[in-house]
Structure 1
Amino acid sequence: MSVAVISENFAGMRAQAEGLLHRLGVEPDFHTILLKGMWRHLPTRFCPDPLKAAAPIQLAPDTQWLLSIGGRGGAIGAALRRKTGLKLVQVQNPRMGFDQFDLIIANHHDDISGPNVISIRTALHNVTSDRLASARAEWAARLQRAGRPLLCVMLGGSNGRFRLGHEEGRLIGQSLAQMVRQQNIALAVTPSRRTDRQALAALTSELEGLDVYIWGDEGDDPYLGMLALADMVAVTTDSVSMISEAVATKAPVQIIPLPGRSRRISTFVEGLTRLDRVRPFTPDWRPWDVSPLDDTEIAVEEVRKRLLG
């Protein structure tokens, strides 16, 4: 079975597609949206013919159904559904008529409802217990320090709503250095593709001379190993995807604030805070009891029921 994924080329969108489809036992066939002319700057849902506003999308002959992600993905996906008659699953609020989709997988913070809408608390992802167990065995020797609990820090980046620049990196680095010195913890830090190099350099400078692990884009990516081994995770507030992946583990999760504002992300974090699954970041080492929170399986079962029978 081939499933065509229609989305922009963002890591978070690809991760959501992979999370859903891998759990269904399907490999995603990615088709990146490349808009033309003025439609690069305008909402695609207003375009009278979205397929003419984007570079051609050639579906594989064995494509069984479509998966669209985000507003632009939804507009292109809906046009392909009309053209091909294939069923279409949309991830995130499409901001257009819900009747153009067979199933919409939204988050609680999207605040939408309908007969073809299912609402989950976290973003789709592929952080499963099996993958965490494998990563734990692979990374234990490199990340763990005997007798010291492990804090793993996941850095996002500036995204138009939040800012993570040199000064923010320096302040985060100072807090982490204080924790390492005063709380006798082990520390591992990984940037994302959006992390500003100057922000990472400023953070690294504050940690100079301390026994910490900081990934610098070389060698194996430690991200999954960090999630698997962490006694606590700290994530910057800009990324719904990284927070969702962190709360799928057995570790308590702290949210590192950044300058800026997003109503949707704030609502998302507030929901997890009410569940006591996340708490604000503090330099004190105060873990609390949590259970893994993973709503991707809810979405998987709905796709099986509604599309695959």
Structure 2
Amino acid sequence: MDRPVTTSADTPLRVWVVSDGRPGIENQGLGLADALAALRPVELSVKRIGWRGGLGALPWWLNLAPLPALSPGSDIAPPWPDIWIAAGRATLPLSLRMRRWSKGATYVVQLQDPRVPSSAFDLVIPPKHDRLQGDNVLPIVGSPHRVTPARLAADYERFRAQLEPLPRPRVAVLIGGKSKAFGLSPERAASMAHEIERPILQEGGSVLLTFSRRTPEDAKALLSARLRHLPGMIWDGEGDNPYFAFLAAADYVLVTEESTNMTTEAASTGKPVFILKLEGESLKFRLYHEELERLGAARPFGGAFHSWTYQPLNETTRAAAEVLRRYDARAGNR
């Protein structure tokens, strides 16, 4: 049997989240799956794929027989899911064939801009700043994510003993780093540390500092050394990750400009979000930040904190509701 089992509103939808396992990519798919599960019973499977012999570095159209080319443990085999959620270039050889393999029964959702015609999928969910359009394209502000009020509250409880005594304002500082368009040199890290330190000292607050896998080691070491004397917490990558707890505890959030994921997650909290400048420029990211400013969620960081209110971003739930609407409409027409 290579077709999904037909489901009703009371029967769990069999949902696969497929990626190469990188957390920033996988979490987008998991965020959408979590939002689906909040609206409909879901049986979730997470599939982390790899390719034999360096095929993953080749263009998707050179991978002519993808199933035999998967590395051991990829676990892509029938029975196929009801909904396939994939993200990242590595998944394209599979996503592009899933409708044929399932004889049209699997609803194929591709996150981000796949850079192939969107007609190859049932639905493409890219960030608005990619400026992709089409009947089966659902642009959203930022990216799908796993930040929910319940998740924030639960993670805050895990770190309450460390966070509760910290003086306010508590400032979460989310540092990314190197990307195609942006960089973070030691010089910029030093000036960034000064920009962050000064208003925290002035207001008598505390810092909640965390880094991403893209943060250069020299920049990480410099920022940690320059900000360690402040009250607060600096996560060094060891032990439990307090990222969601930091978002829950924060009065303000600072986030570097190159990360769609971290910025979207911060803007989903409803707390003032300030964008930290890196080295480099990007039209797409400028459009994204302008959209966040238009929505009242984020502003450039000018060296001082101030408060405002806005409607927290809830694009992941909106995308999940649209996936289910389209899935149900197609199922009803079969």
Same fold (TM over 0.5): yes
Q: 1:146-166 CA deviation, whole Å, 9 max, x = no partner?
A: 652111001112123211233
Cα distance in 1 between the residues matched to 2:164 and 2:283: 37
Cα distance in 2 between the residues matched to 1:272 and 1:290: 11
Deviation at 1:29, TM superposition (A): 1.9
The residue that corresponds to 1:172 in the other structure is: 192
Which of 113, 117, 121 is residue 137 of structure 2 equivalent to?
Answer: 117
1:64 is the counterpart of 2:82: yes
Q: 1:220-273 CA deviation, whole Å, 9 max, x = no partner?
A: 211111111211100011110010100000211001111123332222112112
The residue that corresponds to 2:168 in the other structure is: 148
Amino acid at match of 2:156: R
The residue that corresponds to 1:19 in the other structure is: 31
Q: 1:68-97 CA deviation, whole Å, 9 max, x = no partner?
A: 213442343112332333321111122112
Which of 252, 256, 271 is residue 236 of structure 1 equivalent to?
Answer: 256
The residue that corresponds to 2:48 in the other structure is: 31
The residue that corresponds to 1:196 in the other structure is: 216
Q: Is the 8 A contact 1:65 1:87 kept in 2?
A: yes
Cα distance in 1 between the residues matched to 2:52 and 2:68: 9
Identity %: 32
1:275 is the counterpart of 2:291: no
Partner SS, residue 125 of structure 1 = coil
1:93 is the counterpart of 2:105: no
Partner SS, residue 29 of structure 1 = strand
The 1:308–1:31 alpha-carbon spacing in structure 2 relative to 1, beyond 3 Å, is farther
Amino acid at match of 1:31: R
The residue that corresponds to 2:9 in the other structure is: none
Q: Is the 8 A contact 1:3 1:27 kept in 2?
A: yes
Q: 1:171-196 CA deviation, whole Å, 9 max, x = no partner?
A: 22222221222221211101122222
The 1:221–1:163 alpha-carbon spacing in structure 2 relative to 1, beyond 3 Å, is same
Cα distance in 2 between the residues matched to 1:51 and 1:78: 12
Q: Is the 8 A contact 1:8 1:32 kept in 2?
A: yes
Cα distance in 2 between the residues matched to 1:160 and 1:118: 25
- Superposition pairs for residues 154-165 of structure 1, below 5 Å? 154-165=174-185
Cα distance in 2 between the residues matched to 1:244 and 1:225: 16
The residue that corresponds to 1:216 in the other structure is: 236
1:181 is the counterpart of 2:201: yes
- Superposition pairs for residues 251-290 of structure 1, below 5 Å? 251-290=271-310
Which of 37, 53, 60 is residue 44 of structure 1 equivalent to?
Answer: 60
Partner SS, residue 178 of structure 2 = coil
User: Does 138-147 or 188-197 show the bigger shift?
Assistant: 138-147
Deviation at 1:21, TM superposition (A): 0.7
Cα distance in 2 between the residues matched to 1:263 and 1:75: 29
Amino acid at match of 1:168: R
Q: Is the 8 A contact 2:111 2:126 kept in 1?
A: yes
Cα distance in 1 between the residues matched to 2:140 and 2:229: 43
Partner SS, residue 172 of structure 2 = strand
Cα distance in 2 between the residues matched to 1:165 and 1:3: 41
Q: Is the 8 A contact 1:158 1:194 kept in 2?
A: yes
The residue that corresponds to 2:101 in the other structure is: 83
Question: Where does the alignment leave 5 or more consecutive residues of structure 2 unmatched?
Answer: 1-12, 38-42, 330-334
Cα distance in 2 between the residues matched to 1:38 and 1:287: 49
The 1:263–1:32 alpha-carbon spacing in structure 2 relative to 1, beyond 3 Å, is farther
The 1:166–1:218 alpha-carbon spacing in structure 2 relative to 1, beyond 3 Å, is same
Q: Is the 8 A contact 1:19 1:124 kept in 2?
A: yes
Amino acid at match of 1:81: R
Amino acid at match of 2:23: A
Deviation at 1:43, TM superposition (A): 3.2
Deviation at 1:38, TM superposition (A): 6.6
Amino acid at match of 1:274: R
Partner SS, residue 213 of structure 2 = coil
The 1:60–1:151 alpha-carbon spacing in structure 2 relative to 1, beyond 3 Å, is farther
Cα distance in 2 between the residues matched to 1:225 and 1:258: 25
Amino acid at match of 1:121: V
- Superposition pairs for residues 128-143 of structure 1, below 5 Å? 128-143=148-163
Cα distance in 1 between the residues matched to 2:51 and 2:264: 28
Question: Where does the alignment leave 5 or more consecutive residues of structure 1 unmatched?
Answer: none
Deviation at 1:62, TM superposition (A): 5.8
Deviation at 1:57, TM superposition (A): 5.3
Q: 1:16-57 CA deviation, whole Å, 9 max, x = no partner?
A: 1110112222424223243644761x4325655555665475
